[in-house]
Amino acid sequence: MLFTAALTSATLLVVRHSAQALVQRQIEQDARNAVLTIQGVQHQREMMLSRRADLLATLAYVRNGDATTIKDASQNPGNSAIATSEHTEELAAHQIEFLPAEDQGVRC
């Protein structure tokens, strides 16, 4: 009887230790996944902010630095694309000035 109790206790201790180790590994994996997810979201946010800054800079260039246009665009980013698309040809003409000579004659 004593042998059976000792064997049962030892088995329970091994099972308990194995279960704890498994739970610990799962918690660590979930924490790593959460960190990777947060880093991915941060990267996407940085890219979005960079694109928005580029769009505002382009809009400022197209509108010759008109402060009211830039202010309006920064407060309502949905209108920025419309305002910029109105001046696409003008912007394209300015961009061609910066192309190497061999690329200036090529039109898309």
Tell me the three-class secondary structure of 84-96, residue by residue: HHCCHHHHHHHHH
Q: Give the whole-angstrom CA distance, residue 67 versus residue 31.
A: 46
Q: Are 73 and 80 in contact (CB under 8 A)?
A: yes
Give residue-wise pLDDT tens across range 7-28.
999 999 999 999 999 999 999 9
- Please report, for residues 6, 40, 80, 81, the alpha-carbon distance to residue 84 in angstroms, rounded to integers and kept in the order given: 80, 29, 6, 5
CA angle 80, 85, 91 (to 5 degrees): 105
Q: Give the whole-angstrom CA distance, residue 79 versus residue 83.
A: 6
Give residue-wise pLDDT tens across range 41-82.
999 999 999 998 888 888 878 877 666 666 666 666 555 444
Predicted TM-score (pTM) of the model is 0.50
